[in-house]
Amino acid sequence: MQYDAIIIGGGASGLIAACALARGGRRVALLERQDRVGRKLLSTGNGRCNLTNLNAGAGDYHGARQAAQAALRAWPPRKVMGFFEALGIPCVADEAGRVYPMSRQAASVLDALRLGCDEAGVETRTGFPVASLRQTGGGFEAVSEGGDRAFGRCALICTGGLAAPKLGARGDGYRLLERLGHRITPRFPAIAALITPPEAVRGLKGIRAEAEIALLSGNEILRRERGEILFADSGVSGIAAMQLARRANETRMAGEPCAVRLNFAPDMDGAALLRRRAENLPLRSLDDFLNGIVPRRLGQTLVRAAGLPLNMKAGTLTARQLEALAGRLAGWTLPVTGVQGFDQAQVTAGGASLKDFDVRTMASLRAPGLFAAGEVLDVDGDCGGFNLQWAASSALLAAQGMEALLGNEDIERPENSTVCCF
């Protein structure tokens, strides 16, 4: 069968583009390597599916920011919300602007996208790992590893990146795009835990604490975040720390050392706090002295980092010792020796260069009729709904571009077609 469009990749971008095109009356084939679509979508937002962020702007993105800006201009967050609401997913926003389905269930979003595709007549072909994509005189032919074929008058590649291989990430799209003349920028993990010397955080696994965390290179602050920190065997995790991963990777790849500085009392004078505490609790030993300010085990680690014995009484602390302990409470610095790999990362930094695409339509400038969207491209966002916003807005831009191309070719549409989002 000949399709108007073949879409390679059944993740968020592929499902959104397929639904938009098919609801507009186009014959669409969605080709997915795995035995089911949308596996990674189920894990987003800790299973709650953070669809977008009302405050999204170009500054929340990295890589080709001009592409993110073009997509945001054409499909801003509220317009993306409207797309989901047209599929039966009412959206709600929290105080930080993060937008979720009313159900707070990623499964609801996946079900709505699947139903939308099915109802519009999308032919979803799972177990179709695309081995090659060949440009022909009338469009594109995709051939699976098993020899199955699909032909479309245009094609969209939205296979995702390299992050979360357990959920199906393979990087197939990079290979397909390279063979069609596209350049691929270096790829590395973004939104991932930071690795520190294990002895520095030994015994803190599972401890959570609110803190300000700054990424340093020498005396320069490269980026600063605030939120919950989660300690692991090999370093520091939690969203605030993971937001620093991209910049940490860039810094280390440039051959420059970096470190993180943790401030567990960002809104107060730590030295004054500890002086009053020592005066009020003079008989309290240091193994419990910071308990209540930070979790007990973390407090003990900070005491040791200040070079003080745990059995020392707070009332015997000298001014210099109090200053040293306050320095650890408000500025504990740990070297960053690495960033967790793609198996633990949430997002891929780098990808197909946007210099090879028209960012107004996501159309290839090297292979007419070819489009790309989502994580396969050199755009990645911060945590907080920005990456799904990019997945949706770039997919909808691509769907519009494909619709314009197909419309110019005067292809016969099925009866009863309805344009859902254009």
185 vs 327: CA distance, rounded Å? 41
Domain topology for 2-188+349-408 = FAD/NAD(P)-binding domain (3.50.50)
- The Cα-based distances of 330 to 60, 129, 275 in angstroms read 27, 51, 14
CB 40 within 8 A of CB 169: yes
38 vs 366: CA distance, rounded Å? 29
Length of the chain: 422
CB 243 within 8 A of CB 383: yes
Burial class (CB in 10 A: 0-12, 13-18, 19+), 412: exposed
Side chain identity, residue 9: G
CB 13 within 8 A of CB 71: no
pLDDT for 422 equals 54
Nearest 5°: the CA angle 131, 401, 88 is 90
Q: What is the pLDDT along the chain (422 residues), one digit of tens a residue?
A: 799 999 999 999 999 999 999 999 999 999 999 999 999 999 888 889 999 999 999 999 999 999 999 999 999 999 999 999 999 999 999 999 999 999 999 999 999 999 999 999 999 999 999 999 999 989 999 999 999 999 999 999 999 999 999 999 999 999 999 999 999 999 999 999 999 999 999 899 999 999 999 999 999 999 999 999 999 989 999 999 999 999 999 999 999 999 999 999 999 999 999 999 999 999 999 999 999 999 999 999 999 999 999 999 999 999 999 999 999 999 999 999 999 999 999 999 999 999 999 999 999 999 999 999 999 999 999 999 999 999 999 999 999 999 999 998 644 443 444 434 45
Looking at 167-265, list the stretches that DSSP marks H as alpha helix, in order from N- to C-terminal side.
172-179, 198-201, 239-242, 245-253
Residues 6+ away with beta carbon under 8 Å from 18: 7, 28, 30, 117, 122, 124
Domain with CATH 3.50.50.60 in the chain: 2-188+349-408
- The Cα-based distances of 189 to 3, 192, 193, 395 in angstroms read 35, 7, 10, 22
CB 177 within 8 A of CB 185: no
The model scores a pTM over 0.75: yes
- The Cα-based distances of 329 to 204, 212, 219, 245, 266 in angstroms read 15, 11, 19, 23, 9
What would the two tokens of residue 320 be? 């210099």
pLDDT for 233 equals 87
